[in-house]
Amino acid sequence: MNIKKRTAFMRNNIAFKVFALTGTILLLFSVITYLIIFTLLPPTYKSYKQHQLEREVDEFIAKSPALSAEDFTKELEGVRQRTNSMIFIVDGEKKSLFPQIQLGSVNAIGTVSQLTPIEAPFTSLTPVTGAKEGPKLTRTVTYQGKTATLTATSTLQPIDEASKVLMLLAPYVGLFIVIAAVGGSFLYTMLITRPIRKITASASRMAELNLDTRIPVHSSDEIGRLAASLNTMAANLQTSIGDLQTANTQLQLEMEREREVENRRRELFAAVSHELKSPLTIMKGQLEGMLYRIGIYADREVYLEKTLQVAEDMETLISDILRVAKSDQLTVMGRDEQVSLHETVEGLLAKYEELGLQRGVTLQADVPADLSIRTDRKLLETALNNVTHNAIIYTNPGEKVVITAAAGTGSAALEILNTGAQIDAGKLDRIFEPFYRLEQSRNRNTGGSGLGLYLTKHILQQLGIGIRARNTAEGVVFSFHFIQTPTASQKALDPTAPLLKASYL
């Protein structure tokens, strides 16, 4: 298992790959270089000695006719020392002119087979025993007006010794190569993979959607451009994901609103089915009784009038249903305008003054003249009409309906109070349900269709206005909550003050 893990690590780790590849290349390069030097040094040295010997000897031969015996010997000794070679000069009678020794015989390749030394002004040269013979050449030379044969042979003793030294140094050189290759590879790997490892770590965090991560950019090469590109990609992704999250939130809100509307429609349709079933059954029974003249239905005139009344109640109910259905489209058609609450409430009092007199109910209002909001005037008036009408209908004669408004810091509240009335605590939360009526007899002459407050709440939700009902010591209070907009005097003091829209609190 450990072997498998190590193998996988080595296979998937770029630092190990770079280290192994670099180390292998350095080792091979160093070994090959050493082998090339060891192999090519002898022939290269031999070729060099051949050219050197030919050049020196040819230059000597060119100036030898003009040399005296002493200069001839000095020049020839200089050639020998510079070329590290053995030089023999033999005249036509096979007598040695340089060095001054008697030649017994010279074989075919010019080596001396029998030597008899004679007096000489200098010591004769003898090659080192066992030295490998190097380049050889033979030339015709003029010595004191005589023609002689010059034979020169160089030795490869230095290069032989150098080759042996290279062989002796091979273990030490090999150890140095290994250390240098491993150390150099390690340093090179750390240097070259450090930015890559940083990029990899940062990219891993980006892959986990930590898009605030940024990669430091310290160069303008390919690695630096890669880091900059990843940073740009992360920033773009962060922006795109933010936009998507915003769009998703809006979509979820829209879907929730659609589900809410759909649920209301289902509830409405269920309530409509229930509400229409009773009058339709009554009409069907009355019409069948009158058709067959059964019992009391024989007097058609009386029951035709009652059937007409049922039909009119159904017409009123259907009209209310259509108003609720139409209210779903009012948000799209609504207008955003400046609405004075004082003027709106005064209009309500004028409209319902006669109904209040009929019911024996006193209408009162206390709304500041400069209190206004931004909303849709028509929808707001519809909602206030429904609540005010209900307040008058459910208030006992001799009581009052009082409309008051108060402004706070950045907010406003409108309250409609009908005195002397109370609603059971268990019914307060249900009065905004469709077709729910406090009057259990379901008499439409006293209780209406039960859609007025449902429609009111629906309209106010679209306007972003909150409404709630509560019992107080004086009676039942319906409260509306708004965000207050600046008055004319406030705008004069602060022209930059914005006009705020009505909002649900």
Q: Buried (b) or exposed (e) across 172-208, using 16+ Cβ within 10 A?
A: eeeeebeeebeeebeeebeeebebeeebeebbeebee
- 435 — pLDDT class (breaks 50, 70, 90): low
Strand partners, 381: none
Which tokens hold the place of 245?
Answer: 């999250």
pLDDT of residue 131 exceeding 60:
no
pLDDT at residue 483, as a whole number: 64
Q: Buried (b) or exposed (e) across 388-421, using 16+ Cβ within 10 A?
A: bbbbbbbbeeebbbbbbbebeeeebbbbbbbbeb
CA distance 222 to 200: 15
Global pTM value: 0.42
What would the mean pLDDT of 272-278 be, rounded to a whole number? 65
Domain ranges of the chain: 335-493
Inter-residue contact 154 to 84 (CB < 8 Å):
yes
CA distance 38 to 232: 56
CATH of region 335-493: 3.30.565.10
What would the mean pLDDT of 339-346 be, rounded to a whole number? 90
Which tokens hold the place of 168?
Answer: 């002796």
pLDDT at residue 382, as a whole number: 82
pLDDT in tens, 86-103: 888 888 777 877 775 433
Inter-residue contact 454 to 491 (CB < 8 Å):
no
Sequence-distant (6+) residues with CB within 8 A of 245 are none
Stronger pLDDT, 439 or 63, i.e. the higher one: 63
pLDDT at residue 487, as a whole number: 46
Residue of 409, 394, 406, 383 whose CA lies nearest to 467: 383
pLDDT in tens, 380-408: 888 888 888 888 888 889 999 999 987 76
pLDDT at residue 389, as a whole number: 86
What would the mean pLDDT of 320-324 be, rounded to a whole number? 65
pLDDT at residue 237, as a whole number: 85
pLDDT at residue 437, as a whole number: 64
- The least confident of 95-109, 169-183, 307-321, 491-505 is 491-505
Inter-residue contact 61 to 143 (CB < 8 Å):
no
